[in-house]
Amino acid sequence: MNDLVLERRARRAYELGRLRSALRLAPFVLAAAAVAVACGRPAGLSCALGAMLLPLTVALAFRGGGAGRGVVPGLLAGTVALAMPLLVQIVGHACIGPACMALCMPSCVVGGAAGGAFIALRARFEERPAPFALAALAVAGLMGALGCTLAGAAGVVGMLAGAVVAGAPVLISVRR
């Protein structure tokens, strides 16, 4: 066999291996969307968020580098933001009207802040923290939105604001 054929086969095997590895994240994304629906989130919205999150996580993980390394921390951080408002609902708080702002909205902000701080702390160990942090925040934002839509658009904005406010000081200190 000629070297060019061997090189192509090796490259194809390498790319298929990367794709298989990236697809291992799919069950976690699908499970998160299923949990959101099971906890009363609108099925259409949860499916739409999952449909955006799934290719994003697979593509970033397949790409690799700093952005690829940010996927799993982003999923973990987003799971915190996903869980907070759902836990509030599970313990019996009815998120209806003004009552939603009393507990659901703050839980989204706290979940986002915890996730943002986690991402920022992990980004400190990256040679180039920006691609890692941007990828992780994008993944965490979509994952957290699966739960924070419980408090409406304000819940999602609150979660994202919490992530940025909690993570920004750490990221700024890394740049120095």
pLDDT digits (tens, 9 = 90+) for 57-99: 999 999 999 999 999 999 999 998 888 877 777 776 666 656 6
pLDDT tens, 125-169?
888 888 998 899 899 989 988 887 776 677 777 777 887 777 777
Q: How many domains does the chain have?
A: 1
How confident is the model at residue 29, as a pLDDT?
94
Q: How far apart are CA 170 and CA 67, in angstroms?
A: 18
State the pTM of this model. 0.85
Do residues 132 and 126 lie in contact, with contact meaning Cβ atoms separated by under 8 Å?
Answer: yes
Residue 2 φ/ψ region, left for φ over 0, alpha for ψ in the -120 to 50 degree band, beta for the rest: beta
**Amino acid of residue 22:** A
- Give dist(CA 146, CA 43) in Å, integer: 10
Q: Which domain holds residue 85?
A: 3-175
